[in-house]
A and B are shown apart, each in its own frame.
Chain A
Amino acid sequence: MADDRAGRTTAPGPAHWVSGLVPDLRRDVLFPIGGSLVSFAVLVGGGLAYVALVGGSSDRLVTAMLIDAIAVIGLQIYIGNTGVLSFGHIGFGAIAGYAFAIAAISPERKARWIPDAPFGLTDVQVSPLVAVVIAVVVALAVAVIVGIGLARSGARSGAVAASVITLALLFVTHEVAANWTDLTGGDRAPLSFAIGETLESRAPILAVLLGSLVAARLFAQSRTGRLAKAAREDNLAARAMGVDPASQQMAALLLSVVVIAIAATLRVYEIGSVTPRVFFFEYTLLTLVMLIVGGRRSIAGALVGVVVITAGRELTRRLATDGYEVAGVGLDGTPADWVFREGLPTVFLGLAMLGFMILRPNGLVDDWELDEWLHRRLTAEARPPETQPAPDAGPSRLLEADAITVDFGGFRALSAAGLRADSGEIVGLIGPNGAGKTTLVNVITGIVFATEGRVSIGSTDLTRTPTHEIARAGLVRTFQNLRLFSSLTVRQNVEVAWFTAERYRPDGLRPTVDQLVAAAGLWEQRHRRAAELDYGNSRRLELARAAAAAPTFLLLDEPTSGMSDQESLAMIEQVRTTASSVGAGVVVIDHDLGFITGISDRIYVLDRGAVIAEGSPDRVQADPAVQAAYLGSAADSIETQQPRGVES
């Protein structure tokens, strides 16, 4: 697997557009398709076997389960990849379901329920297949608007506003369905197909199920899907790698809405009618519980959840309605009567949600995927790649932050501070707690906008540019408090940054993902989750990830914080080799003077928001003003503004 990548990293060749879409043909296309086929076969085979064994009403149960599976896959594509909790996807289902019913039901029947439908819809009739297409298009149109709104609200993992917007969508669609009776028939006049016109064959459901399984897995493995997952793990770190989460979220939303819309049309077609209740709270709960119980971050989880919840509901329904006995002894009239009665399936759903949230919030399988597991088992253990010689540094470029002033509501955190760094050098930035070091780096990387001053690389002005665009321009940072994509693997962490580099700065030689991982000494751990790494390795991974973005400049915010003296010294070597392997200049903040003087060519000293000294390590260290700033002194002679402690 290392071989097929080697060719395409050297130059933007013909394979470039493929690699832009999917990183690795075998791992990201062939295995997901194979894995999807296997899951499909198991799910459908199991369902059909159950029907054959039990007969009776189990036929409808399995059909409903397969449709639910499609809907839950749709839900997973959005919630799983972006981490945004959506309550509104069933609302998209309602839109599609009604669009489908209105388009496909015969004019004679519509004349009975909705004789006054607007736009002459009463007289329209198209074939079911065309109606599905119409339903998907209508749902997508709404999804685009909702998606723009979500992006505008700053949707991200755990964002309350996004959940409220989607919840509002669910209720708006329900209100329209229930009250715009001219169009929908409302509660009292359910739009229904004539008997015999409904879905007879299971083939379309199976086709859609297989299609959505494959689509969901391919999306998750695609560049877009991986970037979405990175942003799910840490929005800010993803932006600092050059990812614009809004576009990935939109892609996930649109794909998930297509899947949900088709599932909704199947549901309507199978039931034979549509009422406002079909796509409302209950179905939202059912599909959400399925997703949560199985594991919202994986497709395997979605399917497991569908099976477990379907089985549990069916079992509780039977216990509640058909009577029951244990070991041949009937339990009627015993205290068990108190449990096994109508409503038990709903209690089961509620308790499943509650129990899993309290005991196992990541679900039964967490983020396990069948094809990833197979791929790991069926792929020969790769050897670490040879590190490649450092590329010739390109033309030297200059990073300039000039006269930066930052006011935080009356407090001046920085006053006309600045620095310059050449792409060939390592520049240190030191200063006591509260001096404004992190604020300066935040200004340079677009996380905080300066009140005054200018930031540029070469001739490109980066003042007041969004973080992800600054990263794309070649300025990549690390974070003081480690912001790894913690549930992605080591390799995936590096890969995300590598994609953005490939996309936005495709020219030039640079190491492959595997070379970067190996160079960081993380080859053995490459398939482990970032969260499982110890501290030193986490720091090394963060550095490797930043390097993978092929930066012109690396900004390292306290790379040794929390390290012992020895580890700090080892870090010097790693920063040097990493920077030279991608030909980047380095600006490094640290409190550890031993580390800073050991690594830097030049040092800036910041105190109370202003630069108080600049020069070679020796000169700076001997400067009495620097010693005073560090130790504090009774004769504090430095005249500056009075910043408040604004650093974290």
Chain B
Amino acid sequence: MTELAQNIVDGLGRGSIYALLALGIAVIFGVMHLLNFAHGELITITGYVAYAAFLRGASWFVIAPLVLGVAVVASMGIEQVAFRWVRGAPDFTLVLTSFGVHFVVEAAFLMYVSASVKNFNRPGWIADTVDAGGLSFEIFDLVVIGVTLVTLVLTSLLLQRTMFGLALRASAEDFDAARLMGVRSDRVIRGAFALSGALAGIAAIFWLMRAGQTTPGAGITPMLKGVLAALVGGLGSLRGAVIGGFALGLAEVLLRARLPDAIAGLTDGVVFLLIALLFIFRPGGFVTVSHAERV
């Protein structure tokens, strides 16, 4: 029982980061139909920014806002350099374009930094725990969950209460109808990338705090988790992406705790397998948003 409660908090902490990444991916998919395999590169890029700041003696109080800002700028920059040229292209082209971005960014760090692991200090409190009612929780998990919830509430307010949020949601549902209402497609897409970058920036802060290191290929794992969570939730559904993120985090932690020791190392493999099965039986994810084909 105690173990379960701890697992759940642990899983929600992990899931928070996935949820933020997945939400950013879903926002972009909504307006552009692009499944962004380059989303993890925001974590690679901010990882090196964090490393550079760390070398100059910056503390996490400086690094964290820096990471957030860089993530927003980088996200919008990638849109300007690559994705804007393939707007409206077939899915095949869009997916491979994002893969291209992923590899160019990775290779650029390979060239200009190095292939080796770059380490920086984690915050001092990262491993601290707090005891409550006989249970012991990592403070870090609680902070992540708290900040994520605040972020999700703010994002939800942005989407519900602002004109930009309305335009974004309307564009995701029917891009042409939104344009007929006077919504400027260019601004919505740029705004979507900015929002997606901000969400990824917050995820990056926690991801980097926990990892304490970065490499040119560091973006692959978070990208994959984010993409899978977004897909599990049903692409295009923002709520589904958040649910998918938490579900993925919980599934990982609970599986790792329950799997027999001999194959505990295969947790990720089992998760991938489960996701493959999900897509075999529910190609649209949990929340199906696809519309029937018109003839």
Chain A residues within 8 Å of B, Cβ to Cβ: 83, 85, 149-150, 152-154, 157-161, 163-165, 168-169, 171-172, 175-176, 179-181, 236, 281, 285, 288, 292, 341-344, 346-347, 349-355, 357-358, 361, 438, 442, 447, 479-481, 648
**From A157, A168, A347, contact of B276 by CB (8 A):** A168
CB distance from A362 to the nearest CB of B (A): 9
Contact status A343-B107, CB under 8 Å: yes
Q: Chain A: interface secondary structure?
A: helix
Name 15 extra pairs, CB < 8 A, besides A176-B269, A344-B111, A353-B96.
Answer: A149-B277, A153-B283, A161-B283, A164-B275, A179-B269, A288-B99, A343-B115, A347-B108, A350-B102, A350-B104, A351-B100, A351-B104, A353-B97, A354-B100, A358-B82
Once bound together, how far apart are the Cα atoms of A179 and B90, in whole Å? 37
**Cβ of A355: which chain B residues have Cβ within 8 Å of it?**
100
**Cβ of B82: which chain A residues have Cβ within 8 Å of it?**
354, 358
Q: Chain B: interface secondary structure?
A: helix
Whether B150 is near chain A, meaning CB under 8 Å from some CB there, is no
**Cβ of A351: which chain B residues have Cβ within 8 Å of it?**
100, 104
**Cβ of A479: which chain B residues have Cβ within 8 Å of it?**
295
What is the 8 Å Cβ interface bit string for chain B, positions 2-44, against chain A (1 contact, 0 not)? 0000000000000000000000000000000001000000000
CB distance from A420 to the nearest CB of B (A): 23
Once bound together, how far apart are the Cα atoms of A349 and B89, in whole Å? 21
Contact status A168-B295, CB under 8 Å: no
Contact status B96-A164, CB under 8 Å: no
Name B81's closest neighbour in chain A (CB-CB).
Answer: A354
**From B104, B269, B273, contact of A347 by CB (8 A):** B104
**Cβ of A152: which chain B residues have Cβ within 8 Å of it?**
280-281
**Cβ of A172: which chain B residues have Cβ within 8 Å of it?**
269, 272-273, 276
Whether B95 is near chain A, meaning CB under 8 Å from some CB there, is yes
Name B283's closest neighbour in chain A (CB-CB).
Answer: A161
**Cβ of B110: which chain A residues have Cβ within 8 Å of it?**
342-343, 346-347
**From A83, A168, A292, A480, contact of B273 by CB (8 A):** A168
Whether B103 is near chain A, meaning CB under 8 Å from some CB there, is yes
**Cβ of B106: which chain A residues have Cβ within 8 Å of it?**
346, 350
Once bound together, how far apart are the Cα atoms of A288 and B295, in whole Å? 33
CB distance from A354 to the nearest CB of B (A): 3
Contact status A175-B100, CB under 8 Å: no
Whether B284 is near chain A, meaning CB under 8 Å from some CB there, is yes
Contact status B293-A358, CB under 8 Å: no
Interface residues on B, range: 35 or more
Once bound together, how far apart are the Cα atoms of A554 and B98, in whole Å? 44
**From B105, B111, B273, contact of A341 by CB (8 A):** B111
Asked if A354 meets B276 with Cβ closer than 8 Å, knowing A153-B283, A176-B269, A342-B110, the reply is no
Contact status B266-A165, CB under 8 Å: no
**Cβ of B89: which chain A residues have Cβ within 8 Å of it?**
357, 361
| 6 A–B contacts from the bound complex (CB under 8 Å) | A85-B95, A158-B90, A164-B275, A236-B293, A341-B111, A358-B97
CB distance from B98 to the nearest CB of A (A): 9
Contact status B280-A165, CB under 8 Å: yes
Whether B199 is near chain A, meaning CB under 8 Å from some CB there, is no
Whether B294 is near chain A, meaning CB under 8 Å from some CB there, is yes
Whether B235 is near chain A, meaning CB under 8 Å from some CB there, is yes
Give the interface centre of A152, A154, A180, A343 by most chain B CB atoms within 10 Å.
Answer: A343
CB interface residues, B 215-243, toward A, < 8 Å: 220, 224, 228, 231, 235
Contact status A347-B111, CB under 8 Å: yes
CB distance from A317 to the nearest CB of B (A): 12
Whether B86 is near chain A, meaning CB under 8 Å from some CB there, is yes
Whether B265 is near chain A, meaning CB under 8 Å from some CB there, is yes
Whether B167 is near chain A, meaning CB under 8 Å from some CB there, is no
Contact status A357-B96, CB under 8 Å: yes
Asked if A480 meets B96 with Cβ closer than 8 Å, knowing A152-B280, A152-B281, A158-B90, the reply is no
Contact status B280-A153, CB under 8 Å: yes
Asked if A285 meets B103 with Cβ closer than 8 Å, knowing A172-B273, A179-B266, the reply is yes
**Cβ of A281: which chain B residues have Cβ within 8 Å of it?**
220
Contact status A165-B104, CB under 8 Å: no
Asked if A346 meets B91 with Cβ closer than 8 Å, knowing A149-B280, A176-B266, the reply is no
CB distance from B28 to the nearest CB of A (A): 14
**Cβ of A342: which chain B residues have Cβ within 8 Å of it?**
110-111
**From B100, B112, B228, B268, contact of A350 by CB (8 A):** B100
**Cβ of A236: which chain B residues have Cβ within 8 Å of it?**
293, 295
Once bound together, how far apart are the Cα atoms of A361 and B185, in whole Å? 24
Asked if A354 meets B97 with Cβ closer than 8 Å, knowing A164-B275, A179-B266, the reply is yes
Contact status A157-B283, CB under 8 Å: no
**Cβ of B294: which chain A residues have Cβ within 8 Å of it?**
648
**From A159, A179, A353, A447, contact of B295 by CB (8 A):** A447
CB distance from A154 to the nearest CB of B (A): 5
CB distance from A390 to the nearest CB of B (A): 31
